[in-house]
């Protein structure tokens, strides 16, 4: 993807050129993107690690039921990453949060449903860390109180507020006559933040009017309607850049 296309798309969102270039440089440094010469300028291509990251996120991002899990099943993960591997710990925590994990104790995480931990941790920069990981799938047993676990690992009120903010911005929105690409990018960004925050907690521990289904319907409606126009706009940007 030519740099100018990325700069144009970011500019439509009000992001400065310097901020976009800094973000691209960070992704190159993290081995998510590779930079190549493209005529008199440069272009960026996904690395294998970048493709793997998108593959891991895509399944939940576009799932028809991103907040649903098998009833009663939880994943428990213990991973005491030492302080000397601080950068790795940061990467690990990012993956765990995206996969729906919440911390109940230092280095102990839980997530609703059956998470494929081996796939989640694949391609970590330091494979020896996998020797520190202990993962289990199971159901809570007495005297455990899952309600307390849920409240300890997640701020349920904040999760509800996140859904309501998403709905306030998007539930009544209609695709614009022009400018579908920036709208789609904003929608995906907001949806990703919501998925990162809300793991899909069991309905038994939530209010009856929990807004997750409304949020899902809203995202799917707009994603379907914005997608074709956004793709045309992106293709036009690429073609225009190629003519320069």
- The percentage of the chain sitting over the pLDDT mark of 70, rounded to a whole number, equals 96
Residue 167 is predicted with a pLDDT of 98
Residue 173 pLDDT grade (very low, low, confident, very high; cuts 50, 70, 90) = very high
pTM, full prediction:
0.86
Number of neighbouring beta carbons within 10 Å of residue 239: 10
Say which residue the tokens 């007495």 belong to. Answer: 142
Q: Which pLDDT tens digit goes with each residue over 53-92?
A: 888 788 889 999 999 988 889 999 998 877 777 777 777 8
Q: Helices 3-11 and 180-197, interaxial angle, to 10°? A: 80
Please enumerate, as own/partner, the contacts of 32-39 that have beta carbons within 8 Å and a separation of 24 or more: 38/2, 38/3
Contact in structure between 43 and 241 (CB atoms under 8 Å): no
Residue 187 has pLDDT above 70, yes or no: yes
The pair phi, psi for residue 179, each rounded to 5°, is 80, 35
Strand partners for 43: 2, 36
More confident residue, 221 or 118: 221
Ranges 32-36, 131-135, 177-181, most confident: 32-36
User: Chain-wide mean pLDDT for the chain?
Assistant: 89
Name which residue leads in pLDDT, 125 or 70.
Answer: 70
Q: What structural domains and CATH numbers belong to the chain?
A: 3-46 (no CATH), 67-153 (3.30.70), 156-243 (no CATH)
Helix (H) or strand (E) segment spanning residue 136: strand 134-138
Which segments within 149-237 are labelled E, that is strand?
none
Which pair of structure tokens corresponds to residue 52?
């793997």
């Amino acid at each position: 993807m030519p740099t100018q296309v990325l700069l144009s798309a970011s500019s439509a969102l009000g992001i400065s050129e310097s901020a976009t270039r800094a973000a691209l440089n960070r992704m190159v440094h993290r081995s998510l993107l590779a930079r190549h010469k493209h005529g008199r300028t440069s272009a960026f291509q996904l690395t294998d690690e970048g493709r793997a990251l998108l593959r891991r996120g895509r399944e939940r991002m576009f799932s028809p039921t991103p907040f649903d899990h098998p009833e009663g099943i939880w994943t428990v993960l213990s991973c005491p990453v030492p302080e000397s591997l601080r950068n790795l710990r940061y990467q690990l925590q990012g993956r765990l949060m995206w996969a729906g994990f919440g911390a109940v104790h230092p280095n102990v995480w839980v997530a609703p449903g059956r998470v494929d931990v081996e796939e989640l941790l694949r391609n970590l920069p330091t494979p020896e860390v996998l020797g520190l990981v202990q993962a289990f799938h199971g159901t809570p047993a007495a005297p455990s109180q899952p309600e307390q676990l849920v409240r300890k690992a997640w701020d349920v009120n904040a999760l509800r507020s996140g859904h309501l903010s998403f709905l306030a911005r998007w539930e009544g929105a209609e695709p614009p006559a022009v400018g579908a690409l920036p709208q789609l990018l904003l929608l995906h960004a907001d949806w990703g933040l919501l998925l990162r925050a809300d793991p899909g907690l069991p309905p038994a521990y939530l209010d009856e009017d929990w807004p997750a289904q409304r949020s899902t319907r809203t995202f799917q409606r707009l994603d379907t309607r914005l997608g074709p126009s956004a793709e045309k706009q992106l293709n036009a940007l690429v073609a225009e850049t190629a003519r320069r």
